[in-house]
Structure 1
């Protein structure tokens, strides 16, 4: 009886010991496998020829990833305002929209009988167009000054580097000596570097603010120089020479196109001058355009065709000179 009762207990004990032994051997095997994997990884890291480095984007032509802007900022941007660069305008940016909409409001009040119920939509569209034209004119004027100053800036940096002055000190000299708008741009870039921003990021931000491809070439060449070493003297001298030649070619193009631009200006102003002369000499004849419904249609078509002709002539001349 005792041996029969002890037999199942013995079997259960042996089974438990067998399971424990199997689990222990499995754990030991896993630890040995992990140890061998780590050893192989260390050996592979030591014996291989090189370690792959993460790709570094050096080009300043790659667009920056901007965060999604709030709705109010996008609404203001519809007027052509560069919200991030409002300090670059020669006057407070809000003066331009106020002046544009006041001028359009006065004009629409005087022509209320002509446009009728379309007064508000026309006022909004024309006001936005005037704002964008004003901000675009200020931006183009600033970029033109920057481009004209840039060859001398590059020559100054090259001369400073040639006599042993570090690149950052050469750019500080540019920030101190070059007038607006190039000097303040370099000052802003150097302030970013002084608070810990890498040189490549500071140059890239300055190139993005300027909107000029020449600044992007400058930023890319200096970024490559800081990564690979060497002197950027030859690159900067070549860039300065190319910019000078481009400016000379552009000036020659404007001189050759002066006759076409004068003709376009005369053709644009002539209908307005004739309209004013007819108003002064024969008001009864010209008043039909403002009082008769058919005259409204004729006047609207005349204004639309004149505006379309001016825009087309302007686009052709600018595309030819670009």
Structure 2
């Protein structure tokens, strides 16, 4: 039975690799014809409103902030990760992940009921971890693009263009993620959304802290007046200085982060080394009848330790 599972996992894994390779090649060729995802959808499609609604649907966006809090937070996490709903890909990846976890637990001699519990937990936790990593990477990329974007808006405003035209210029000239996000902002302004509400929706979609500074600047300038070009220039400098500070902090904490990674991987490496050199070394543990309890306690302690290490080497500022 387990041999058939191995064959099935290898076959489906090959399909996934083939799908990823072909998708990467296709994206490479599509990238030459359009700078960002929104422009790709608009090519040859005159229904701009339909494209905007489709982008909202595929990212499961919901701007109703008064719903059930866990559901609202889950939808916000998915939207900010930039991922798209793909039922076919989910239907392929979930069984492969379940089979791989089953084989791994079988290798450690875990019984059937704990296997099922751990597989269910893994299938629930893995999407959250993947979305959080995708969200963090997307926010970092968005933040890196933001100062240059503010420079583009500043130059456009200095040339006499109104703000909606400047935002539309960003959506046409800059790549993802900021090109698509400003494109959706431009669409909302075009279809009648107030600027403050559109900026709040953009913050909801992106989740970057620096973007809140832009929203506050726009809101204050609309209410009190002032030189908006100068405000944006100062804001661009602030964002750049924050990025420099963030890079310095990451450089100073790099030793702690690599130490945390080594300490997390060390128990698994040690187990594989001992099992390779002395295959029967852990047999008394598996034959004692307490292996499930030992593994559960060990993984729980490791999870707590990894969380503490993560908090020690990651800083909020």
Please give the TM-score of this superposition, normalised by the length of structure 2. Answer: 0.70
Kindly provide the CA deviation profile for residues 62-103 of structure 1, in whole angstroms up to 9, marking residues without a partner as x. xx7535369xx94xx79x554873893178377358625632
Give the conservation status (yes or no) of the 8 Å contact 1:97–1:127: no
Please tell me the root mean square deviation across aligned C-alpha atoms, in Å: 2.9
Distance 2:264 2:145 in 1: 34
Describe the shift of the 1:87–1:239 C-alpha distance in structure 2 as closer, same or farther (beyond 3 A).
closer
Give the conservation status (yes or no) of the 8 Å contact 1:101–1:123: no
Larger RCO (CA under 8 A, 6+ residues apart): 2
Distance 2:217 2:291 in 1: 62
Kindly provide the CA deviation profile for residues 146-198 of structure 1, in whole angstroms up to 9, marking residues without a partner as x. 00000111122122222322222221211111110101111111111112222
Give the number of aligned pairs. 253
- What is the correspondence of 1:80-159 to structure 2 with a 5 Å cutoff? 80=74, 82=76, 85=79, 88-89=82-83, 92=86, 95=89, 99-100=93-94, 102-112=96-106, 113-159=109-155
Describe the shift of the 1:81–1:235 C-alpha distance in structure 2 as closer, same or farther (beyond 3 A).
same
Distance 2:197 2:75 in 1: 24
For 1:313, which of 286, 290, 309 is the aligned residue? 309
Secondary structure of 1:309's aligned partner: helix
After TM superposition, give the deviation of residue 287 of structure 1 in Å: 2.8
Structure 1 position 187 matched with structure 2 position 183: yes
- What is the correspondence of 1:15-94 to structure 2 with a 5 Å cutoff? 66-68=65-67, 74=71, 80=74, 82=76, 85=79, 88-89=82-83, 92=86
| Uncovered stretches (5+) of structure 2, i.e. residues with no partner | 1-62
After TM superposition, give the deviation of residue 291 of structure 1 in Å: 3.1
Please give the TM-score of this superposition, normalised by the length of structure 1. Answer: 0.69
Aligned residue in 1 for 2:210: 214
- The higher radius of gyration belongs to 1
Distance 1:269 1:102 in 2: 23
Aligned residue in 2 for 1:164: 160
Distance 1:134 1:84 in 2: 10
Secondary structure of 1:197's aligned partner: coil
Distance 2:276 2:302 in 1: 21
Kindly provide the CA deviation profile for residues 12-33 of structure 1, in whole angstroms up to 9, marking residues without a partner as x. xxxxxxxxxxxxxxxxxxxxxx
For 2:230, which of 230, 234, 248 is the aligned residue? 234
| Uncovered stretches (5+) of structure 1, i.e. residues with no partner | 1-63
Kindly provide the CA deviation profile for residues 274-320 of structure 1, in whole angstroms up to 9, marking residues without a partner as x. 1111111111112333332234433332222222222211121113x
Distance 1:85 1:295 in 2: 41
After TM superposition, give the deviation of residue 222 of structure 1 in Å: 1.6
